[in-house]
Structure 1
Amino acid sequence: MKTSNLSAVLSAFLFATGATQAIAQEPTRMPTLSPVPDSTGWGTHVLAVAEASDGSVWVGTYGQGIYLSRDGAGRDWENLRSRDSAGISWDFVNAFAFAPGVIWYGTIGNGWGVSRDGGRTWRNWTFDELGPRWLYVAPGGMAATDDTVFVATADGLRITGDGGETWRDVTEADGLSSRYLLGLAVGESVRVRHLAGVDESVDGGRTWRRASQAGAGERPPPPPEPATGSALVREIRQWQGRFRDYAAPAGAVVEPGDRAHFRFRRPIGPDGNAYVDQTYTYGSTMGGNFQQHQGVEFNNPEGTPVRAIGDGIVVFAGQAEAGSNTVAIRHGRHESPPGCPAAGFVWSTYYHNADLTVATGDTVRAGDVIAHVGSTGRATNDHLHLEIHVTPTDSSALVVDSEVRFPPYTVNPILWIEPLPGTGAIAGRVFDAAGRPVPGTRVYGVAKPEPAETPFSFAETYEDRAHSDPVFGEHFVIGDVPAGDYVLGVEVEGRRLFRAVRVAPGRVTEVVLQQLR
């Protein structure tokens, strides 16, 4: 978190006005014992579970790789990780498929792999081989028959009939309604879920027809979980729905507040994926795997229209950091609520575009198309990277500079763009016993059904490259949270703290978790 005299003044203001909520300090209260190993102690986030023909059970997790029970009963577990020699490519595993003597797995963000020796060694397809496409496998997006393997991704469907030596790619050019795939089912036909509905092929993916149509901005529902499987598989599937259910601590529930500045619309319309990638939100490092993030990401197929989030003037349109096709818009001055010491000029920037449709000096209105999604610059997949800046002076050099990787005045976009329907946001602060912010710690307790392809697991408190909002002074934000009650948990100085919060649509719930002396 950014530290400065302004931060100190802002913190004093927040406490003086009663904007902070009651401090939480509760004894450890954890969820029901996990049926799979739990290296964090906060509940294992299971993304996929499957049973092989030999009875072994394979569990894909968020950040903990694969857990394998060879006896199928969970008496002994092996943990397969990307750090292992000849191991898997990435520890975020969300799909499995089995063929005789063969195990396939897929990941969120680094491709997929196959093992022909029971998981002891792997042949992987990653960024090094695939480039910035095909890396995001859809949830459960793998299937295998005796001679064919299907991999559904955010860039289309890949099919191999020779064990991965060659691949056939299926996108809109081959008849799919959308290449951004959300799921896969293979039986008598091949069915793929995508942003526009469900497509079906009865000839192995060569021709396609629309099986069902989704409404604008809606996603087709996933199929129900199968009721079959071993006792262990059924237990793990039940666990998937409650792995973040912590017992409610003593004390009042923190209610939603009245302060909010959801001033802007979303940059992706109903013709695309308007969900924020929950694995890599503002200030996040994805659990220590990446640099501190300066914005939020909207994963979408190349060519998806990018829209201005608000009225303003284009102050930059061209190549910025690392050659990214970039647009920056000045939205004018933001006046903070009465008594708040901070105000400033507000800007939005849009990175990694395939092309730009505006020029410097253009006036734009909210919703105008300003670019199209791409992967230019420092990008590992097609997506829009959105930043919002609040600067003390009216200078675009503070917002876009090709030599600056960490702009000095970014703020969390989730507190500025409108929440998804039926959702709100949580803005929190975490302090140690001396009243100092605790950077880089994880905040647990929220689970969301969507976006399943880039799921939320935990928030991270800001470190030195992320900046608190001038109104909220927060250390972390969880956005697009479905309305309801949650119990947040965090570890501070070796002690676990919990706080019950309530989320309401279109509102921000402010909470403080602090270790007492």
Structure 2
Amino acid sequence: MTRILKYLLKILLFFLLFLSTGCQPDLEFLPTPIPQEPPVEPTQASLLSLTQVTITHQVPSPTFPLKSPTALIETPTPPTSNPANNFSAILESPIPADFPQNVDASYLYGTTQNGLRIPHDGVEFYQPFGTPVLAAADGKVIFSGTDEINAWGRFTNFYGNLVIVQHSNLGNAPFYSLYGHLSSLAVKNGDTVRQGDLVGAIGASGGAFGSHLHFEVRLGGNELKHTANPLLFLQLLTDKNGQETGILLGNIRDNKGALVPSANLVLQKVVEGRIILEESLYQETYSKDIPSHPEWQENFVFANLTPGEYRISTFINQVLYEQFISLQTGQFINIQLKAED
């Protein structure tokens, strides 16, 4: 019993000692209280000083030379009310009027999609499989069939099912239109067709990538070396406001006068002195083995342009050349950009 009492007494003494030392806060290590100032309502001036931040940005000087070349601008007087007649624009669209009429802008005549594809000998109309294909002008069918055996293009089975129509001569030059990648043929050799007659239907035969019509024009002969840009012969379209469009063509030449192949061009709309970047059009000049029109000697064509002001620019020998152009309703303009010595 005595032993138990001694044990309880020790516990009590230990507890009292703990209360007298360990439970008291050590004031030496408490943080010093910081006096708080009453909040101040911000004034209008103080708010402005926070929101008015001046940011400066220095535009670096261009690292390339910029020159405005001497541009030859030709605007011949049209023989009729439609200036496009100067371009022998005698062909109607081979696509029915209730379908979109624009050609594929990514793979125009003479271009290569920046070297990704072979030079293009025509233009393409992307429409659904089976869309009717119409004769672009009066003429005689000189071929209707497949090119599996005889190559009408760069190699056999290139166009697949195709139709070739010979039209009236342009001057003394034989004139042809070709319709390729057809899914079906509606004419046979020797048939006479009128403008707008059915000649076949859109397909993906031959070397086609997807359903479309390959439309080609040949001037001076029925060989590949006689192709010409179809946009020089197709009637101009109207814009979304029903206004007749215009056409800009020309050539890019080096300082020796030679055509510059596969040069990148940019055509931009200008409104009240401001370039509209959203309406930029990009194109290559023709590949070196692509024929130009014998009269115009062009190596680029921008067709169906809305009337207005434009800026065209390109690099020649790492020098940027530009020209500002005013295009009127139904007008065509032929320009030349030539590198300086």
TM class, shorter-chain normalised? 0.5 to 0.7
Say which one has the larger Rg. Answer: 2
* 1:410 and 2:227 matched: yes
Residue type matched to 2:314 in 1?
A: V
How many Å separate the matches in 1 of 2:250 and 2:181?
30
TM-score, normalising length: structure 1: 0.45
Which of these residues, 199, 209, 229, is aligned with residue 370 of structure 1? 199
Change (3 A) 1:292 1:456: farther
How many Å separate the matches in 1 of 2:188 and 2:220?
22
How many Å separate the matches in 1 of 2:260 and 2:299?
8
Residue 344 of structure 1, CA deviation: 1.0
Any unmatched runs of 5+ in structure 1? 1-246, 336-342, 393-397, 400-406, 449-454
Residue 260 of structure 1, CA deviation: 2.2
Corresponding residue for residue 346 of structure 1: 175
How many Å separate the matches in 2 of 1:512 and 1:461?
12
Alpha-carbon contact 2:262-2:288 (below 8 Å) kept: no
Corresponding residue for residue 328 of structure 2: 504
Change (3 A) 1:251 1:408: closer
Corresponding residue for residue 284 of structure 1: 111
Residue type matched to 2:197 in 1?
A: D
Alpha-carbon contact 1:253-1:500 (below 8 Å) kept: no
Corresponding residue for residue 9 of structure 2: none
Query: RCO (CA 8 Å, sep 6+): is it higher in 1 or 2?
Result: 2
How many Å separate the matches in 1 of 2:254 and 2:68?
19
* 1:420 and 2:223 matched: no
Change (3 A) 1:478 1:307: same
Which of these residues, 301, 311, 317, is aligned with residue 144 of structure 2? 317
How many Å separate the matches in 2 of 1:504 and 1:493?
32
Q: Deviations over 1:172-195 (max 9, x none)?
A: xxxxxxxxxxxxxxxxxxxxxxxx
Which secondary structure state, in structure 1, belongs to the residue aligned with residue 258 of structure 2?
A: coil
Identical counterparts, % of pairs: 30
Corresponding residue for residue 495 of structure 1: 319
Alpha-carbon contact 2:262-2:285 (below 8 Å) kept: yes
How many Å separate the matches in 1 of 2:130 and 2:339?
48
Which of these residues, 166, 180, 187, is aligned with residue 330 of structure 1? 166
- Higher helix residue share: 2
Residue 502 of structure 1, CA deviation: 2.4
How many Å separate the matches in 1 of 2:186 and 2:269?
37
Corresponding residue for residue 384 of structure 1: 213
Which of these residues, 241, 256, 259, is aligned with residue 434 of structure 1? 256
How many Å separate the matches in 2 of 1:350 and 1:364?
14
Which of these residues, 308, 312, 323, is aligned with residue 484 of structure 1? 308
Alpha-carbon contact 1:490-1:496 (below 8 Å) kept: yes
How many Å separate the matches in 2 of 1:293 and 1:378?
13
Corresponding residue for residue 475 of structure 1: 299
How many Å separate the matches in 2 of 1:513 and 1:334?
28
Alpha-carbon contact 2:127-2:213 (below 8 Å) kept: yes
How many Å separate the matches in 2 of 1:253 and 1:485?
17
Q: Deviations over 1:125-156 (max 9, x none)?
A: xxxxxxxxxxxxxxxxxxxxxxxxxxxxxxxx
Q: Deviations over 1:440-496 (max 9, x none)?
A: 101112469xxxxxx974121112331101221111111111111111101011111
Kindly report which structure 2 residues correspond to 1:100-249, keeping only aligned pairs within 5 A, or say none. Answer: none
Residue type matched to 2:163 in 1?
A: V
Corresponding residue for residue 276 of structure 2: none
Change (3 A) 1:437 1:252: closer
How many Å separate the matches in 1 of 2:253 and 2:73?
17
Any unmatched runs of 5+ in structure 2? 1-65, 78-85, 148-155, 239-243, 271-278
Which secondary structure state, in structure 2, belongs to the residue aligned with residue 458 of structure 1?
A: strand
TM-score, normalising length: structure 2: 0.67
Residue type matched to 1:413 in 2?
A: P
How many Å separate the matches in 2 of 1:439 and 1:253?
19
Change (3 A) 1:309 1:506: farther
Which of these residues, 258, 263, 271, is aligned with residue 98 of structure 2? 271
Superposed CA RMSD in Å reads 2.4
How many Å separate the matches in 1 of 2:309 and 2:284?
20
How many Å separate the matches in 1 of 2:70 and 2:233?
30
How many Å separate the matches in 2 of 1:456 and 1:387?
26
Alpha-carbon contact 1:248-1:487 (below 8 Å) kept: no
Alpha-carbon contact 1:278-1:456 (below 8 Å) kept: no
Residue type matched to 2:322 in 1?
A: F
